[in-house]
């Protein structure tokens, strides 16, 4: 019965310093032996107004080049972006270099390597 589970969910945030989201609540409900999916926990919490207010943690990225240079046509200004990529099965990272056209946003070229050394 869902009412027993909802009663248990209402009890969790009533404790001091407890701030449970649906994932943490689903893990907590798994301990006493309830067999319940976290999607159902989220749905029940939403129906009973028990969800925390979510917010976007990431701030929008400002495009530095577009604030300095006025780009009016393709291939006028390019941006380079370096990303660290985790190599699955190994304990190291790889570097992904991407070259992007600032006017169209089109990906022009990529390079993937395990070192950040200059190559000739």
Q: Are 36 and 75 members of one domain? A: no
Helix (H, G, I), strand (E, B) or coil at 81: strand
Is 33 domain-assigned? yes
3-class DSSP state for residue 65?
Answer: helix
Express each pLDDT in 89-116 by its tens digit.
Answer: 777 888 999 999 988 889 999 998 888 7
CB–CB of 22/51 below 8 Å? yes
Question: CA-to-CA distance for 96 and 107, rounded, in angstroms?
Answer: 13
Give the chain's length: 120
Q: Are residues 104 and 68 in the same domain?
A: yes
68, 107: one domain? yes
pLDDT, residue 31, reads 75
Q: Are residues 69 and 109 in the same domain?
A: yes
DSSP E strands, 7-120: 78-86, 93-101, 107-113
Q: At what angle do helices 38-47 and 22-30 cross, to 10 degrees?
A: 120
103 falls within a domain: yes
* Interatomic CA distance for residues 110 and 81, integer angstroms: 10
The answer to whether residue 53 sits within a structural domain is: no
State phi, psi for 83 to the nearest 5 degrees.
Answer: -120, 145
Q: Determine the pLDDT at residue 120.
A: 59
Domain housing 82? 64-113
Q: Is the pLDDT of residue 71 over 90?
A: no
Structure confidence by residue, pLDDT tens digits, 16-63: 445 677 888 888 887 777 788 889 888 888 888 777 666 656 776 666
Q: pLDDT confidence of 66, banded at 50, 70, 90?
A: low
């Amino acid at each position: 019965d869902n009412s027993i589970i909802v009663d248990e969910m209402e009890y969790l945030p009533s404790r001091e310093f407890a701030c449970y989201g649906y994932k943490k609540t689903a893990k907590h409900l798994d301990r006493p032996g309830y067999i319940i999916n976290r999607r159902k926990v989220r749905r029940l919490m939403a129906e009973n107004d028990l969800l925390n207010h979510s917010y976007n943690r990431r701030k929008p990225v400002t495009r530095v080049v577009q604030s300095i240079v006025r780009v009016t046509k393709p291939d006028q200004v390019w941006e380079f972006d370096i990303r660290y990529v985790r190599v699955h099965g190994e304990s190291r990272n790889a570097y992904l270099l991407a070259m992007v056209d600032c006017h169209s946003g089109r990906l022009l070229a990529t390079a993937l390597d395990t070192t950040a050394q200059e190559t000739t």
